[in-house]
Amino acid sequence: MPTGQVRPIRVGIVEDNPLFLDLVAASLDSVIGLEVVATSKTVAEARSVLADLDIDVAVLDIDLPDGNGVGLGVWLSTNFPRPGIVLLSATDMLELFLGLPEETRAGWSYLAKSSSTDLDVLTKTIQATARGRSIIDPSLVDRSRAKSGGRVSRLTKRQFEVLRAVSRGLSNQAIADEFGFSLKTVVAHLSAIYAALDIPEGSNPRVHSVLEFLQETDRS
């Protein structure tokens, strides 16, 4: 690589549907700054192939013929220092994702397969995941409604909208731009949200609030 050139984000893909695998791989390879370095169709094949590669993000189908992407993601996260995980699912399996321990789930993202065919959504999710952020499928988050009785339901309408934006993976600056706020106002809203949700001491407040949002909302 020439001096000063930024290394592309190295991506591994595990998907058992050959047509979908080829579509995703070809699409991502067309994006400047991304490089698909490996593809696999099973958990066993992925363990053999990905173990020898220095990947930044693994894009994993949850439902695989010899296991599932969640277990494969845990194995990758446990055995290798860098790879972020993007889970893909043909059905709403977000609860399986939410069942992972918080420390395991850091740097993981979740997309419905229907959203992953949107190259812009998939690209931004991979880029954010490579930076250690967690992205939840915007289509799932955007239709979320607070369940009654939870702490999320007691947020003001504006606080709920800000928390929804955080759950979509938006940065403070992006939230400010979307709502026409100053950064100071965004920080003030987030502080009020964290206080209302009673974030446990020692937790990452942003991650914890997103998880609480997902657990206390309906997406039907």
pLDDT at res. 185: 95
Is 4 a member of any domain? Answer: no
Range of the domain at 175: 143-218
Number of structural domains in the chain: 2
128: CATH: 3.40.50.2300
Burial class (CB in 10 A: 0-12, 13-18, 19+), 155: buried
| pTM for the full predicted model | 0.79
Distance in angstroms (rounded) separating the CA atoms of residues 118 and 110: 14
pLDDT at res. 201: 80
Co-location of 39 and 125 in the same domain: yes
Is 104 a member of any domain? Answer: yes
pLDDT at res. 42: 96
Is 60 a member of any domain? Answer: yes
pLDDT averaged per 10 residues, the chain (length 220):
71 95 94 95 93 90 92 88 87 75 78 86 91 83 86 94 87 91 94 91 81 82
pLDDT at res. 5: 60
Cβ atoms of 145 and 217 within 8 Å: the answer is yes
Co-location of 28 and 46 in the same domain: yes
